[in-house]
Amino acid sequence: MRMSKSIFAGLCAAVGLFFFLWPLLGPLGFAGTSFAARAEYTIRVGHVLAPTHPYQLGLEYFKELMAKKTGGRVNVEVFHSSRLGNERDLVEGLQRGTLEMTLISTAPLAGFTSDFLVFNLPFVFSDVKTARACVDSEIGQKMLNQLSSRGIVGLCYFENGFRSVTNSKKPIAVPEDLNGMKIRTMENPIHMDSFRAMKANPTPMPFGELFTALRQKTIDAQENPLAIVETSAFYEVQEYLSLTEHFYAPSPVLMAKAYYDSLPADVQAVLKECLLEARAYERGLLDEMNARLVKDLAAKGMKVNAVDKTPFVEAVQVVYEQYTGTGPGKIPAELIRQVKEFKKCKE
């Protein structure tokens, strides 16, 4: 069947109009698609936490900022929930050149420089304001700079917050309450030795396996910031939350050095600017969450108790003695002093 001349002409006009308008569609509502299609650079960033955690929300904000401030030259793809591997896998991906960026805990970095271990010491910070000021200072930046020789660029620190203990057995009021309790920790020697000092039985395992282990009761307890307890639904498999706040958890944003060096100077500058804005946004989300999470988790059925931290601090002093010194796996005494005594400078 032959197509009539009028229909053919109409189709030609429609096709022509489509190609005429297509360049305009991005600004009119298809910006994400347009930016991704014409991006000169793609940054894939992986992390291990849930899509509702401030990690993810902060990185999505970073993605928006980069698209806007580079005019779509840079497209950021965010992968949550260990989709690109655990934290050790993510760091190795940077070094192998199979991943551009990651957001992780400091635990996998201690093998590169033992200075990062100082942030793993128990009760080294008493409040979040001081902790943030310290990691953002020359102390924290110097540690990030030491990663360059390992093929990694340390850009800034996001945050996970102060870690507290949850368990399925009883409230934790004093260190003795942890006696014999099988608690999941990160694969972090200081974390493990800290819980050994409190007579617990630390059991390292990847975060992606934690919920199942808690549900099956192959372990009794875990320790994480409140935001993780909530976004990972640990309240479904843990009855007790004790606000020990024993470790502060800064979260470095890292990039493969080879990829970073391949970016033009103007893109590098925008990237750093956007990350600092996203850092403030992510920390703000954590502050909002922490202000309500104790009540929210109690409403979800958890039995929450505050603790007197004094006996816990006393119990872990042996850990400071064990890790203070020089050489691999040791933290210089001067660095510990600087961090413990750090005070935010008045502006």
pLDDT on residue 111:
85
pLDDT on residue 24:
39
Are 34 and 22 in contact by the 8 Å Cβ rule? The answer is no
215 occurs within a structural domain: yes
- Residue 102 belongs to domain with CATH number: 3.40.190.170
pLDDT on residue 287:
97
5 occurs within a structural domain: no
Torsion of CA 11, 14, 16, 20, to 10 degrees: -170
Please report, for residues 130, 172, 303, the alpha-carbon distance to residue 306 in angstroms, rounded to integers and kept in the order given.
21, 9, 10
302 occurs within a structural domain: yes
Res 344 pLDDT > 70: no
| Angle, vertex CA 242, rays to CA 237 and CA 245, nearest 5 | 115
**pTM score, two decimals?**
0.86
pLDDT on residue 132:
97
Q: CB burial class (10 A; 0-12, 13-18, 19+) of residue 211?
A: middle
Domain that holds residue 119: 30-340
Please report, for residues 9, 23, 198, 279, the alpha-carbon distance to residue 13 in angstroms, rounded to integers and kept in the order given.
6, 17, 77, 49
| Tokens at 163, concatenated | 């870690």
* pLDDT average, residue stretch 162-173: 98
9 vs 295: which has the higher pLDDT: 295
Domain count, the chain: 1
| pLDDT tens digits, one per residue of 46-89 | 999 999 999 999 999 999 999 999 999 999 999 999 999 999 99
Q: How far apart are the first and last CA of the chain?
A: 80
Are 184 and 206 in contact by the 8 Å Cβ rule? The answer is no
| pLDDT tens digits, one per residue of 185-220 | 998 899 999 999 999 999 999 999 999 999 999 999
12 occurs within a structural domain: no
227 occurs within a structural domain: yes
23 occurs within a structural domain: no
| pLDDT tens digits, one per residue of 301-336 | 999 999 999 999 999 999 999 999 999 999 999 999
